[in-house]
C-alpha cells in the first residue's frame, strides 16, 4: 500500500464516526452484503457515511490490506474496524452494535 493511500484511508476512517466501505451507495447498494449493512445502520437510525469501493479500485484493494479483512463491506466505528456483514448482523442481533454506535456518537 502506498503512503498516499494509507493517508487517504486514515483520513476517511478517522474523519467519520460511522463509516462503511461498500459496493455501491447507501441508496443503491450493489451487493446483498452491502445492502444488509445499510439496512442494519438505517434501522438503528444512526448517521453514517459510505465509500463506494466500486468507483475506486485503489480503495477497493487497499481497504482489504488496511483492515487485514478480505471482504467488503467493512464497518468502522470511531476509527476502529468492527467487521463485515456477518459480524455486523451478529452484533446487531445481540444489541451490542446499538450500544457501540451510541457510545461513538456521544463521544
Q: Which of 83, 77, 81 is nearest to 102 (CA)?
A: 77
pLDDT at 87: 96
Cβ-proximal residues to 67 (8 Å cutoff; 6+ apart), any chain: 74, 81
* Domain map (residue ranges) of the chain: 3-106
pLDDT at 85: 95
Which of the 8 DSSP states describes residue 78? T
pLDDT at 97: 97
Superfamily of domain 3-106: Glutaredoxin (3.40.30.10)
Sites in the chain below the pLDDT cut of 50: none
Cβ-proximal residues to 104 (8 Å cutoff; 6+ apart), any chain: 17, 18, 77, 78
Amino acid at each position: 500500500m502506498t503512503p498516499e493511500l494509507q493517508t487517504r484511508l486514515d483520513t476517511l476512517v478517522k474523519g467519520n464516526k460511522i463509516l462503511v466501505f461498500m459496493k455501491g451507495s447507501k441508496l443503491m447498494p450493489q451487493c446483498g452484503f452491502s445492502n444488509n449493512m445499510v439496512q442494519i445502520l438505517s434501522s438503528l437510525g444512526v448517521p453514517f457515511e459510505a465509500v463506494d469501493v466500486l468507483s475506486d479500485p485503489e480503495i477497493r484493494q487497499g481497504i482489504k490490506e488496511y483492515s487485514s479483512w478480505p471482504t467488503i463491506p467493512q464497518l468502522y466505528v470511531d476509527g476502529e474496524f468492527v467487521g463485515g456483514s456477518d459480524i455486523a448482523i451478529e452484533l446487531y442481533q445481540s444489541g451490542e452494535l446499538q450500544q457501540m454506535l451510541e457510545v461513538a456518537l456521544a463521544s
